[in-house]
Structure 1
Amino acid sequence: MPTPEPRTDTKAGPFAGLQPARLWQLFEELTRIPRPSKKEEAVLAWVDAWAESRGLELRKDAIGNRLVRVPGSAGREAAPAVALQAHVDMVSEKHSWSTFDPDAGKILIQREKDWIVAPETTLGADNGIGVVLMMYLAESTDLPHGPLELLFTVDEETGLTGAAQLDPAMVTAPTLLNLDSEEDGFLYIGCAGGADTTLHFERERRFVADGWSGVSISVSGLSGGHSGGEIHLDRGNSLKLLARTLREIGVRTPFRIHSISGGNKRNAIPREARAELVLAPSPDAMHRVEEAVAASLEAARAHYGSREPSVAMTAIAGAPAAAALDEPDSRRLVALLTAIPNGVLAMSQSIPGLVETSTNLAVVTTKSNADGGGISITSSSRSSDRQAMEEAVDTLASIGALAGCRIESFDKYGGWKPAPESKVVRLAAGVHQRLFGTGATITAIHAGLECGLFAEKFPGIDMVSFGPDIRGPHAPGERVSIPSTEKFARWLGGVLTEMSA
C-alpha cells in the first residue's frame, strides 16, 4: 500500500487534541492519499489493508467497490444487518496559483476555530469524513451494534459510477445509512436525479491573416461550489460571465475565437474561464476590448455584490494565434453559450425552499485541429421530477441543434423518492431528539446521492442520508465542522445501537 507522505504544514498539526482522536487520525491519513475520481487505487489499497489487518471479511466487485463485513457486538450477532455507505473519491480542485494539489495527496490543512479547512484546495471531507466514520465505528469496542456492511463506493463525483455498477449481491442488509450529506442535524430522505449533456460545436479553425492582433480574456475570482447543493445561491458562473463579456466585445469590435476553456468538473460551478481571441485590424481595437471588459466587470459586481466580492476580469494583449474560428462561427458560439440555461429552473412544490430542477453550464474545452477541432460544452442538469429532467435535457439538445452541434447525453441517474414515515427515518429522528434535545430536520436534497441508484437496485430498502457540517465542497476553501463531526459520530453510533437492540 502507498505510504502517505509526511505533512507539510504546521508543526503542531491542525488535528492535535481533536476528539474522537482515532476518527481524526484516520481522516488525517486519508487527506495524504491521492483519490481523485477514477483514480482511487491508492485509497482502495488503504481500505483493503485496514480491513485485512483486522481480519474482517472483504469483498470487491468488478468496478472496484469494496464491502467490509463487521460482526455484531456480543449479544447482538443475530440483529438485522445495517449497511453504511460512503464514497472514497473526492473532487480535486485548487486555486491556479497554489502549489498544493489533492491529485498528488498534497493538501494544506489548517484549523480555524471550530473548522478544519483547506484554504487553497478542496479538503475531501466530502465524502472522506463518511469513509473514516465507518472505520472508526467498526473499530470501537464500546459501541454496541449489530452486523455491519461497510460499503465503500468509487467514482461518485463524476457520475455515480460505483453505485451504478455495484454488484447487488454484495449488499444484503435491509437498511442503508448513506453518510454523504453535509448539514448538521438534517436527515435527507430524497434526492434529485441527473444527466449530463455535451454540445459539440465542431468547426475548423482557419488561417489568420497579417494585421490581426491577439488578446486573452479571463474571468476569475469566483466562489464556485457544488452545482447541486449550492446552485440556489446565485453565484457567478465564469463561463456565462465570459460569454457576456465576449458579447460586449463584439458590439465594439470584430473578433475571431481561437479557443475557449473553463471549468473542469461537471458537478462544480466553474470559477475561472478564458478565451483567446484575434482582433480585426484597427488602431483602437485593444482600447475597445478594454472598455468592454471594464463594462462587463462593472455589471457583474453590481449584480453579484457581496456574493462574489473577488470577481475579476482581464484583457491581456499578446501574439495572435495562427488560426481561429471565422467571424460568423465565433458569433454563433458566443450566442450558443449565452443561450444555454444556467441556474435554478424550478422550485419544489412539495418541500418549501428546495430546488426542483436546475442546469449548470459546467465545462468548456477546445480541441486542436489535429484532434478534430471544435469546442465541447458540457452542462449538468438535475431534477427530482423525471419529466422536468427530460425537458431540461431536451432544451439543451434543442439549443445545440439550432447551433448545428453534435449532441451527446450521458450519465443519467434516477432520483430517490422521499418516504418520511419510514422506520429508519423515525428511528434516526428519535435518537437525535433523545441525545441532543432537539428534533432533526427532515428534508430532501437537490443533488445526486447514490441512494437514488440504490433505490433502483434494492427495491424496498429503507434508507436515510446524513452527515456533519461541511461548507464549500467541490471548491478551494472546503471546510468541515469539528463539533458537528463529533456530534454526528455520537448520533450515528446511537442509531446503530438502537437498531440492534
Structure 2
Amino acid sequence: MNEHLDALSPAPVWRHFRTLCNTPRPSGHEAQLVAVLETWAESQGIDHDRDAFGNLRLRKSATPGHEHTPGLILQGHLDMVAQANADHAHDFRRDPIRTYVADGWLHAEGTTLGADNGLGVAAILALLEDPELTHGPLEALFTLEEESSMGGALGLADDWLEGKLLLNLDSEDHGEVFIGCAGGADVVVDARLPSAALKADECVLRLSLSGLKGGHSGLDIHQPLGNANRLLVRVLRALEHVDARLLNYQGGTLRNAIPREAFADVALPADEQQEAMAIINALGQTLRRELGSGDAGLQLVAEPVSPEGAEPLTLDASTMLVAALHAAPCGVERMSADVPGVVETSNNLGVVSLEQGRFHVCALVRSLHDSAVVAMADRFNALFGLIGARVSVENAYPGWVPNPDGALLKRFKACHQALLGYAPAVNVIHAGLECGILGSKYPHLDMISFGPTIRGAHSPDERVELATVEEFWRLLRALVESLTSR
C-alpha cells in the first residue's frame, strides 16, 4: 500500500512515513505501531525501552569522538487524529491511510493524512538509521495519545530521559521555529435532563448541518471557519419560536477538531412544520452568507422522520439546554497583547451529544496563560451549573514559556540562515505542543519545535507540502551535526 511514496524525496523519510500510513494508529490504539518500531529498532541494533505509560524510547550512541556532545532528544507522538468524510467508510483501527499527490502536496483519500505527527516521527527514524550522520548521544522519544488527551506526555516517567536538548518535530509551518505554546484543558459537562412523551399532535424533524471544512482547534481557531455545533445550536434556538423540543443531538467527534458536522432530531407541533421548514431554510441562507468564502460548503437540511418511540426533552429543559449551549464560549476569546497575531485564549466546542436525556459536552480550552484556562473552565461551570449539569476539568496541561535566549534556538537560526539563505520566523503557537508538559517534568531542557508545512490538520483536508519536507530534512540533519561542534 502507498508504494508511490517510495518515489518521493527524501527517500528515507518517505519510506518510514509509508510504514506509518500502512499501520493503523488512532489515539489510544498505537500498540501495533509500537511493536513495528521495536522490531525495526532491533534490526538496526538500536536500544529501546518503554516507561510505565507505554511511551517508547530509542537510544543510539554517539558517533565515535563525540561522546561528550550534549545529549539530544528527538521527540514526536505516534498517534494521529481519526477523521473521515461522512461519505467515506474508513476503520482507523484496521484500514491503512491511502495517499495521493496533487499539485506538490500529499493528501489522503477522504481521511486525515497523519502527517501530524507522522512526518516528524518518520524523520526521527530516518536520522537514527543514517550511516553518514555525525551526532552526539541520541534519544528518540515517541509519546502516545497526544491527540486525544496528551496522556503520553502527562504520564511520562520522571528521571527517565537523559538528554539536555530537545527537538520537538510537531510544528506545521516551514520557515518558522516555535519556542512557546498554549496550555489547555478539557472541560467535560454531563447532565441528565427530564423528558416527556411525544404528544399526539407533534411530529419529528431531523436536522443535518454538514459540508464545513473543520480544522485544528488550536492552529485554525482564528480562521473564518464554521463550528457545526455553534451553528446548529443557533438553528435550534430559532426553532424555539415553534415550541420545538430537542430529542437527540450529535455534533463533532473530537474535542481538538473544529466540528464539521452536527445532527439533531426535534419534536414540534405538526401544524408548525411548515413554519419550521421556512425558518430552517431562511437561516441556512443567512449562515452561508455569514460564512462567505471562508467556509462556503455549508449545507443545512431538514426532513420528517418517524416519531416512533421518541421521547424528547420537556419544553423547559430543551429551552434551557439550547440557551446554555448558545451562550457557551466558542472560538477566539482574546488575542495576545504580547505576541502580535497570536491567539491568547480560545475554546473549541468540540463534542456535543444528547441521547435519551443524557447530555454531554467535551470542550477544549487553550491559553498562553494557565490562569485563563482556569477562568474559562469556571465560566462553563457557572453556565452549565444553572441547568444542574456536572462540570469537570480533565487532562490539564501547562503552556510552554518562551525562552528567546536559548542556545539551541541560536544554533537553529544559524543553521537555517546558512542552509536556506534566510532567517526563520520565531513564534509562539496556540496549539498544545507537548513541550510544555515535558518542560514541567524536565525543567533543564532547552527546547525548540519545527517541521514541514502541513495544512488542514485534524480534518480530511490535511495535506503536506512536499518541497518543505525536503528542506525540513536537510535542516534537521544539519542541525544535529552542528551540535557536535562548539
What's the CA shift string for 1:135-159, capped at 9, x where partnerless? 0011111221111000010000112
Counterpart residue identity of residue 299, structure 2:
A
1:184 aligns with 2:174: yes
What's the CA shift string for 1:17-75, capped at 9, x where partnerless? 21111211111121011111111111111111111111211111111101100111232
8 Å contact 2:244–2:269 — kept in the other structure? yes
**1:321-336 counterparts in 2 under 5 A?**
321-336=309-324
What's the CA shift string for 1:264-323, capped at 9, x where partnerless? 1010000000111111231xx221121111121111111110011100100011111421
8 Å contact 1:235–1:308 — kept in the other structure? yes
In the alignment, the residues of structure 1 paired with residue 451 and residue 19 of structure 2 have an alpha-carbon distance, to the nearest angstrom, of 20
In the other structure, the counterpart of 1:394 is 378
- Aligned with 1:38 (options 20, 28, 32): 28
In the alignment, the residues of structure 1 paired with residue 319 and residue 191 of structure 2 have an alpha-carbon distance, to the nearest angstrom, of 12
CA drift of 1:396 comes to 1.2
**1:213-232 counterparts in 2 under 5 A?**
213-232=203-222
**1:96-115 counterparts in 2 under 5 A?**
96-115=86-105
What's the CA shift string for 1:364-419, capped at 9, x where partnerless? 12244xxxx42111211000112222211111111111222111111111001000
8 Å contact 2:67–2:136 — kept in the other structure? yes
Partner SS for 1:409: strand
Partner SS for 1:23: helix
In the alignment, the residues of structure 2 paired with residue 167 and residue 195 of structure 1 have an alpha-carbon distance, to the nearest angstrom, of 21
8 Å contact 2:107–2:113 — kept in the other structure? yes
Partner SS for 1:411: strand
Taking structure 1 as reference, are residues 176 and 495 closer, same or farther at Cα in structure 2, changes over 3 Å only? same
In the alignment, the residues of structure 2 paired with residue 413 and residue 150 of structure 1 have an alpha-carbon distance, to the nearest angstrom, of 22
8 Å contact 2:224–2:295 — kept in the other structure? no
8 Å contact 2:41–2:48 — kept in the other structure? yes
In the other structure, the counterpart of 2:197 is 207
What's the CA shift string for 1:414-451, capped at 9, x where partnerless? 00100011000111011000001100110110011110
**1:88-127 counterparts in 2 under 5 A?**
88-127=78-117
**1:60-459 counterparts in 2 under 5 A?**
60-251=50-241, 253-282=242-271, 285-320=272-307, 321-368=309-356, 373-459=357-443
In the alignment, the residues of structure 2 paired with residue 184 and residue 198 of structure 1 have an alpha-carbon distance, to the nearest angstrom, of 35
Counterpart residue identity of residue 329, structure 1:
A
In the alignment, the residues of structure 2 paired with residue 492 and residue 461 of structure 1 have an alpha-carbon distance, to the nearest angstrom, of 18
In the alignment, the residues of structure 2 paired with residue 20 and residue 197 of structure 1 have an alpha-carbon distance, to the nearest angstrom, of 41
Counterpart residue identity of residue 54, structure 1:
Q
In the alignment, the residues of structure 1 paired with residue 394 and residue 12 of structure 2 have an alpha-carbon distance, to the nearest angstrom, of 40
Partner SS for 2:451: coil
8 Å contact 2:71–2:163 — kept in the other structure? yes
In the alignment, the residues of structure 2 paired with residue 345 and residue 145 of structure 1 have an alpha-carbon distance, to the nearest angstrom, of 44
Range with bigger deviation, 428-437 or 166-175: 166-175
Counterpart residue identity of residue 269, structure 2:
A
Counterpart residue identity of residue 292, structure 1:
I
In the alignment, the residues of structure 2 paired with residue 259 and residue 332 of structure 1 have an alpha-carbon distance, to the nearest angstrom, of 15
8 Å contact 2:145–2:151 — kept in the other structure? yes
Partner SS for 2:88: coil
In the alignment, the residues of structure 2 paired with residue 322 and residue 454 of structure 1 have an alpha-carbon distance, to the nearest angstrom, of 49
CA drift of 1:100 comes to 3.4
What's the CA shift string for 1:66-125, capped at 9, x where partnerless? 110011123223322100000000000000110334332332311012111014100000
CA drift of 1:16 comes to 4.7
**Number of residue-to-residue matches in the alignment:** 484
In the alignment, the residues of structure 2 paired with residue 457 and residue 335 of structure 1 have an alpha-carbon distance, to the nearest angstrom, of 41
Partner SS for 1:234: coil
Counterpart residue identity of residue 335, structure 2:
M
In the alignment, the residues of structure 1 paired with residue 93 and residue 113 of structure 2 have an alpha-carbon distance, to the nearest angstrom, of 11
Counterpart residue identity of residue 264, structure 1:
T
Partner SS for 1:489: helix
Counterpart residue identity of residue 330, structure 1:
S
In the alignment, the residues of structure 2 paired with residue 103 and residue 247 of structure 1 have an alpha-carbon distance, to the nearest angstrom, of 37
**1:10-49 counterparts in 2 under 5 A?**
13-49=3-39
In the alignment, the residues of structure 2 paired with residue 303 and residue 86 of structure 1 have an alpha-carbon distance, to the nearest angstrom, of 38
Partner SS for 2:93: helix
Range with bigger deviation, 24-33 or 206-215: 206-215
What's the CA shift string for 1:156-201, capped at 9, x where partnerless? 0112110011012221101111010000011100000101112223
In the alignment, the residues of structure 2 paired with residue 143 and residue 114 of structure 1 have an alpha-carbon distance, to the nearest angstrom, of 28
Range with bigger deviation, 164-173 or 145-154: 164-173
* Identity in percent: 38
Counterpart residue identity of residue 255, structure 1:
A
1:52 aligns with 2:42: yes
In the other structure, the counterpart of 1:490 is 474
In the alignment, the residues of structure 2 paired with residue 142 and residue 297 of structure 1 have an alpha-carbon distance, to the nearest angstrom, of 59
Counterpart residue identity of residue 182, structure 2:
A
Counterpart residue identity of residue 246, structure 2:
I
In the alignment, the residues of structure 2 paired with residue 319 and residue 201 of structure 1 have an alpha-carbon distance, to the nearest angstrom, of 26
Q: Any gaps of 5 or more consecutive residues in structure 2?
A: none
**C-alpha RMSD of the superposition:** 1.3
TM-score, normalization by structure 2: 0.97
